[in-house]
Homo-oligomer: A and B are copies of this chain.
Amino acid sequence: MGNTSDLAEVLADYLIAPDPGAAGLTRAVTGRNEHGEPVSLSVVEERPLTIYLNRQEIVTAMTIGDYPEYLALGFLRNQGMLSPDEDILRVDYDEELETVVVRTASETSYEEKLQKKTRTSGCAVGTVFGDMMEGLEGVQLPATPVKSSWLYALAHKINRTPSLYLEAGAIHGTVLCQQDRPLVYMEDVGRHNAVDKIAGWMLSEGVEAADKIMYTTGRMTSEMVIKTAMMGIPVLASRSGFTAWGVEIAQQVGLTLIGRMRGQRFTCLSGDERLERDMDPRDAPVEAKKHRRKSAE
């Protein structure tokens, strides 16, 4: 970050930007380096959060710990356990118990299904995956165009945004964008959590999905593609790579998948028809070496 006005410009678009200085997200840990000299390192936190749907315990997620209510809401929605029109009464986070309870007006169809499943085979762990694929069946993604100039602008802004990644590493980032503007930038130890937090925010705020672009620092696996499609967002972009099944699902649901976005280059493996290449790649901003993400992995 060159100076204060640069920073102000980079942060101007955000509704929620990372807050790398926030208490409780990182911890100073001491150790020794290769010479045996004492060193102090800032490392990201990671804590369990158990998510309940009404009286039903659903899962324990490992999370950095910010926005637990969004994480719970978004997780349940992205797993197809909450339908889009579910009447959500309350979301209660208990910091001491490390739990979030999402309460709906009536028992959800997921709880019914879970009880049935439980009676037959004893546990529903394996159904979670099947439910996600099932949830995709009704998904229709809009034909919203996406311009290559937006993609270049987004990458340039996001790479320069102060983040926990730049502060402590070992973390994934996901950014909800609209045209060339990054709106909500979430980070977490698991990339799925970062997406779920965005989904929870969108659900809470009643934000439209049709004109949005999802940007992630991580790989576009089947899970990432399914979650993005479940959210109704037609475009998923990443500086990282693909898995074959992620590509296959994107092609099936008609989601635009753009990967390996580095500097002036990118590859589109699904939904190319949404993409307007309105900018000569040679005019795209060059990635400064210091802003290139090293491996978060």
Contacts and interface: CB of A to CB of B under 8 A. Distances in A.
Interface residues of A, number: 75
A92 to B, nearest CB: 17
Contacts of A122: 56-57, 114-115, 118, 124
B128 A123 contact: no
A297 interface: yes
Given A268-B32, A281-B35, A243 B170 contact: yes
A252 interface: no
Copies of this chain assembled into the complex? 2
Given A125-B123, A267-B33, A245 B170 contact: no
Nearest to A33: B267
A45 B243 contact: yes
A293 B240 CA distance: 12
Nearest to A264: B34
A221 interface: yes
Nearest to A64: B243
B240 A297 contact: yes
A245 B34 CA distance: 22
A36 interface: yes
Nearest to A217: B297
A218 to B, nearest CB: 4
A60 interface: yes
10 tightest CB-CB pairs across the interface, nearest first? A170-B241, A31-B269, A295-B295, A46-B243, A218-B297, A46-B245, A27-B244, A169-B241, A60-B129, A170-B219
